[in-house]
Amino acid sequence: MRNYRKLSLQEIDRLENNGCQAQDWNLVSVSDDFDPDSLHRVTFYGTAQLGSFNGSIEVSDGFVKRCGINNATLRNVTVGDRCLIENIGNFMNNVAVGDECHISNVCTIETKPNANYGQCNLISVLNEVGKGNLLLFDGLNSQFAALMVKHYSNSMLQATVKAMVKRHVEENKPACSTIGNKVRIINTNEITNAVIGDGSNIVGASRLSDCTVCSSDDNPISIGTGVICENSIISGGSKIINSVKIVDCMVGEACELSNGFTAASSVFFANSYMSNGEACAAFCGPFTVSHHKSSLLIGGMFSFYNAGSATNFSNHAYKMGPMHYGILERGTKTASGAYLLMPANIGTFSVLFGKLMYHPDTRDLPFSYLIARGDTMYLVPGRNFATVGLYRDIRKWPKRDKRRLAARKSIVNFDWLSPFSISEVLRGKQILERLREASGDNVSTYNYHEYVIKAPLLRKGIRYYDLALRIYMGAVLKRHKPEVPQVSVGEGDWIDLAGLLMPVSEERQLINDIIDGKLATTSDVLERFLTIHRNYNEYRWTWTYRMILNYYHIDHLDDAAVERIHADYVTARREWISLIRKDAEKEFDLGDVDRDVLDDFITQLEGEVDFENKKLYM
């Protein structure tokens, strides 16, 4: 706590000689070493507490100015040490400013009654016209958000979570707008009802209204020219620049929104990148990317997703309004001009081409291409499993995680072959085998719901899925002793909860513990997510052990079985690498890839062939 004192008569005289005035000088308190010559043309209303203005502050590279307050109207403010506040066009009202801040050429900074700073803001994602299914708060991560959205119809869970979040917000809510330490706010028009964390850099913004900017000195946030943020929360390490406009949004750690992107009632988590386009009621999980002006993400749940140019989703299925939504599971891509009619569910690591109608549900056919040609919808099962694109994606994501290790709220498990995706592969292989058995081999096409599968591609799909199974089993077995699992958790179905791979049984237990009060705070829930993530390897082995026994029709793992599984793994992995090499050479043959680029890629692949006896990044 700083110690403040009243101004002396001599200090008041010097202040008035510098063009300063006050509604009541008795309400102005200062630090012991206060220098009245640091203030010029300042008008005080209400109370003011002023720190020391000794020293200077760097306002641009190599440009240092003396600390102080110049040309400003202040009402009910607190200002820390070594700050420079100048040219406040309108006023600062009900604001607390930290140490070493530079605030210049700003119109208005104030706190209005009943400010919530974007906290406890109830928004509706997925269902654009829903009553609200996601409560924003500064500790929200992708898992907590996904849990709320997925189980919004569980009234007991929603009521408990709502009370939990409200307690957290009330316990941490400041009395007025706050500006942390080492904050820079330059050439900005309006900041109303905002909590701005340490190290924030706000330059040229148009308006921040009812926002919490969760910046820190070692994980700063940048907000740039022309930006408008309303009723939103922004997490550490993020950038919002170049005329972005967001309303009712959550921006997670290390996200970047830029170049005129607009969003309403949407959330973005963990390294998502949005530029030029638009989002509405979108749940953008980790590594969701959209670059293009004509792309619209609406009414969908995404993660590890890349939107091609002119990608569009329709959440009007008929005439009941924009209430429909879809889920594009981890790793999905949409090609340029892709269109998807909601509701829809797309299996993991799939690629969409053309105008896709008939509400596709391909959760049991992962790694597939969905292709629209006129009124005919084609499905190429498993095709993406053996492509250069997938190979590059699964290796680039861990390298592109820009979040600081100590500041990662959202949990991201990068395993691309996991109990979640392999469960889909198992179901997909069974579906294709049943289709072939039902129609025989002497047909040119097979039908899966409204989608056509060409006979040669169905046979390849079965092979791709089998390669995936053998690679997965061998890779997991290399990480575990071939012994009976010590726990039963992990058996049954798995989910991908916005980056966290976990058994459904753990999700059920989590929900029950929230409702029963065993997890009483938001911190308790977030810690449970971490605990589940820490146990991932153990849970995965429980699931995989049973899968291995079923696949090989054995009742235990002996040395002979282990050797067979390893041999199958090596063979399958080498075939997978060979398929990727052929895909790369096919792209080279198109004439757009330099020979050096292809040679470097093939050298990398050849290293993969010798990778079997080393650590395997699944």
Q: Is the pLDDT of residue 612 over 80?
A: no
Q: Is the pLDDT of residue 611 over 60?
A: no
| 617 confidence band (pLDDT: 50, 70, 90) | very low
Give the pLDDT confidence of 480-514 residue by residue, as tens digits: 888 999 889 999 999 999 999 999 999 999 999 99
pLDDT at 320: 67
Cβ burial, residue 365 (10 Å; 0-12/13-18/19+): buried
pLDDT at 296: 94
pLDDT at 1: 64
Instruction: Tell how strand 134-136 and strand 184-196 pair up.
Output: unpaired
The percent of residues in the chain predicted with pLDDT above 90, rounded, is: 88
Q: Is the pLDDT of residue 125 over 50?
A: yes
Tokens of 171: 């316990």
Place of tokens 């492509």: 387
Q: Is the pLDDT of residue 615 over 50?
A: no
What is the distance, to the nearest Å, from the Cα of residue 67 to the centroid of all Cα atoms in its chain? 38
What is the distance, to the nearest Å, from the Cα of residue 321 to the centroid of all Cα atoms in its chain? 27
Instruction: Supply the mean pLDDT for the chain.
Output: 94
pLDDT at 591: 77
Which helix (H) or strand (E) covers residue 575, if one does? helix 559-589
pLDDT at 166: 96
Cα–Cα distance for residue pair 593/585, rounded to 1 Å: 9
- 265 neighbors 250 (Cβ within 8 angstroms): no
| 203 confidence band (pLDDT: 50, 70, 90) | very high
Place of tokens 């930290």: 98
Instruction: Tell how strand 63-66 and strand 56-60 pair up.
Output: antiparallel
With CA atoms as reference, report the closest residue to 178 among 252, 119, 111, 266.
111
DSSP 8-state symbol, 308: P
**Over residues 244-272, mean pLDDT:** 97
| 321 confidence band (pLDDT: 50, 70, 90) | low
pLDDT at 324: 85
Tokens of 371: 């292709």
Within 291-440, residue ranges assigned H as helices are: 388-399, 419-439
Q: Is the pLDDT of residue 608 over 90?
A: no
Q: Is the pLDDT of residue 616 over 80?
A: no
Which helix (H) or strand (E) covers residue 595, if one does? helix 595-609
pLDDT at 346: 97
Cα separation values, 109 from 84, 93, 96, 208, 267, Å: 15, 6, 10, 9, 26
198 SS3 class? coil
The percent of residues in the chain predicted with pLDDT above 70, rounded, is: 97
**Over residues 421-431, mean pLDDT:** 98
Burial state string for 477-490 with b = 16 or more CB within 10 A and e = fewer than 16: bbeeeeeebeeebb
Give the pLDDT confidence of 580-593 residue by residue, as tens digits: 999 888 888 887 77
pLDDT at 350: 98
Give the pLDDT confidence of 6-64 residue by residue, as tens digits: 999 999 999 999 999 999 999 999 999 999 999 999 999 999 999 999 999 999 999 99
User: Is the bond preceding 398 in cis, omega lying within 30 degrees of 0?
Assistant: no
Tokens of 109: 């900074």
Q: Is the pLDDT of residue 527 over 70?
A: yes
Q: φ and ψ at 396, to 5 degrees?
A: -80, -30
Q: Is the pLDDT of residue 618 over 50?
A: no
Give the pLDDT confidence of 361-411 residue by residue, as tens digits: 999 999 999 999 988 999 999 999 999 999 999 999 999 999 998 889 999
Q: Is the pLDDT of residue 613 over 90?
A: no
Cα–Cα distance for residue pair 353/334, rounded to 1 Å: 6
| 98 confidence band (pLDDT: 50, 70, 90) | very high
Residue with the larger pLDDT of the pair 294 and 272: 272
Least confident of 353-357, 545-549, 594-598: 594-598
**Over residues 297-303, mean pLDDT:** 96
Q: Is the pLDDT of residue 307 over 60?
A: yes
Q: Which residues contact 165 (CB under 8 A, 6 or more apart)?
A: 120, 135, 137, 522
